Structure 1
Amino acid sequence: MKARTIASSRYSPREVLPVVANPVLVFVVILFLYIISSIKILKEYERGVIFRLGRVRERAKGPGIALVFRPLDQMVRVSLRQEAMEVPPQDIITRDNVTLKVNAVITLRVIDPTKAVIEVANYIYQTSQFSQTTLRSVLGEVDLDELLAHRDRLNQRIQTIIDGHTAPFGVKVVSVEVKQVDLPETMLRAMAKQAEAERERRSKIIHAEGEYNAAQKLVDAAALLATQPMALQLRYLQTLTEIGVEKNTTIVFPLPLELMNLLNKSLSTQSATETKTNP
């Protein structure tokens, strides 16, 4: 009985009631909790677009601390970092009637958070749709060879067109890269045959040029040897030296050209006399 009396006296209503019934203290506690919940922290790459009573504030908040007093205010977070968006494969018919599947990668970033929130419902989806239509229209105006050889120029053209569409809602297209071009199997075989024929043509041209250069050098060498008869004799001796090093059984009899010329002259004289004696 004595312990119960001490416990009941410790939590007496007379002591607790003034603390609970103090409205000023309750209001201060509620106000403090409301202010704490209204503090929002925005990171360095984030901006907050605040709507007050349905109207947007003139300037986006951030980075740092932003006060959002609900339910009067609402805040939409927007990231300013670059985002990579992949364009799904598109069926494209080039100007020379070749069917392709082409996909691309687009890098974009938000430069005006307020316009990106107000002007469109979803700026990423909007940019994706513009990218798909632009990719089909631009690549459908070029030949297959131009698509494969001048991809950088086509990327720049696609970027300019898409950037013109996204600029009104505060999105900047940083780069566009055609990622992959899928060719039909028949076109791959035809291109392989074309490349093989081109390499064969080049090899024949190079071989013909080599033969021509070799013949030209032989003509030049013959003309040079004709001016110096002793050079031919030296060439004979050099050939004999090269053959002797190999230690084979080949026997070489050098025949002077003067002897050949003498034989030719004698044969021509003999044929001329026979023609005169036997008309």
Structure 2
Amino acid sequence: MTTILISLCIVVLLLVTLVGMSIRVLREYERAVVFRLGRLIALKGPGLVILIPAIDRMERVGLRTVTLKIPVQEVITRDNVPAKVTAVTYFRVVDADRAIVEVEDFLAATSQIAQTTLRSILGKADLDALLSERERLNEDLQKVIDQQTEPWGVKVTTVEIKDVEIPANMQRAIARQAEAERERRAKIINAQAEFQASATLADAADVISRNPTTLQLRYLQTLHAIGAENNSTVVFPLPLDLVRPFLGNRGEDKQDESGSATPVTSEPRPNGLDIRPPLSPPIPR
């Protein structure tokens, strides 16, 4: 009787073990690649999957997007500038059968393809393109890597360059270049401002030249503005039009008592004024 009970326990234990080996439960994002006697059969999952013990072998494949960090790669750009670049790749398995059958380890293979492609693509770009045209380089990297991983059933969705590290002396050179570019723009803006101001002044001069009184009014307006803001002495030029009526003819002939005309002679002064000698007294007859 004891022998029979022991035999039944062994049989029950074997049945439980076989059931445990033949039943698998897959999550929604998992698929089962099943090999029966070494041959690939239909893809199974998600949910409950029943296998034949000792005949079927199953490989789990996740269909979620995988974030793969590309290690630091030392590249030399086309203009011979060394740089250290890090990037990240996002991919997912779209064909579980090919991901298991076509390549031994699709995760490691994708990582190696991403590293070699990163060095190849960035080695053909200049440093300026590497710093300012990352979107274009990201698209190029994504297309090249995706073309190489497509036979494995792997879809590369995004490749992003995270960081670009360049030598310190090159950073200083870039800073000097940026400073020179800013100074160039400032000089161009100042020249354009001078040109526009000169054109506006020329238009204003044409308007003022039509009426001379306008210039005098402008003088008075300037005096009022200066006097209102600052307490200082202002030297204001006096227009010659206001002095001209008080000046007489300087070359008129003077006649003496005998009726004869006596020309008045003058000698020029160093400052441009004439010195007229005094008239001689009349001679009595």
TM-score, normalisation: structure 1: 0.79
Share of identical aligned residues, percent?
A: 49
Taking the aligned partners of 2:236 and 2:183, their CA distance within structure 1 comes to 44
Going from structure 1 to structure 2, the CA distance change for 1:223 and 1:108 (only over 3 Å counts) comes to: same
Unaligned stretches of 5+ in structure 2? 250-267, 269-285
Aligned match of 1:204: 187
Equivalents in 2 of 1:253, 1:96: separation in Å? Answer: 64
- Assess, with a 3 A threshold, how the Cα gap between structure 1 residues 21 and 91 changes in structure 2: closer, same or farther: closer
- Check whether the contact 1:90–1:102 (CA below 8 A) recurs between aligned residues: yes
Q: Equivalent residue for 1:191? A: 174
Deviation at 1:131, TM superposition (A): 1.0
- In the alignment, is residue 49 of structure 1 matched against residue 33 of structure 2? yes
The aligned residue for residue 271 of structure 1 is none
For the pair 1:121 / 2:104, whether they are aligned, the reply is yes
Helix, strand or coil for the counterpart of 1:154? helix
What are the within-5 Å matches in structure 2 for residues 45-194 of structure 1? 45-57=29-41, 59-194=42-177
Deviates more, 1:91-100 or 1:203-212: 203-212
> Partners of 1:68 and 1:100 in 2: how far apart?
52
- CA–CA distance in 1 between the matches of 2:61 and 2:244? 100
Aligned residue identity for 1:149: S
The separation in 1 between residues aligned to 2:243 and 2:161, in whole angstroms, is 74
In the alignment, the residues of structure 1 paired with residue 148 and residue 100 of structure 2 have an alpha-carbon distance, to the nearest angstrom, of 16
Are 1:20 and 2:1 counterparts? no
Aligned mates of 1:36, 1:129 — CA distance in 2: 38
CA 1:17–1:253: 2 relative to 1, 3 Å: closer
Q: Secondary structure at the match of 2:233?
A: coil
Deviation at 1:205, TM superposition (A): 1.7
Deviates more, 1:174-183 or 1:229-238: 229-238
Is the 1:240–1:252 contact (alpha carbons within 8 Å) kept by the matching residues of 2?
Answer: no
Kindly provide the CA deviation profile for residues 237-275 of structure 1, in whole angstroms up to 9, marking residues without a partner as x: 323432443473535656236458999xx9xxxxxxx9x
| Equivalent residue for 1:234, pick from 196, 211, 217 | 217
- Distance of aligned partners of 1:20 and 1:225 in 2 relative to their CA distance in 1, 3 Å threshold: same
Shift of 1:132: 1.1
**Superposition CA RMSD, Å:** 2.8
Q: 1:90 to 1:262 in 2, by over 3 A?
A: farther
Tell me the secondary structure at the aligned position of residue 96 of structure 1.
coil
Q: Distance in 2 between matches of 1:17 and 1:253?
A: 135
**In the TM superposition, what is the alpha-carbon distance from 1:232 to its structure 2 partner?**
2.3
Q: Which residue among 39, 64, 69 is the counterpart of 2:23?
A: 39
Show the counterpart of 1:255.
238
Q: Bigger radius of gyration, 1 or 2? A: 2
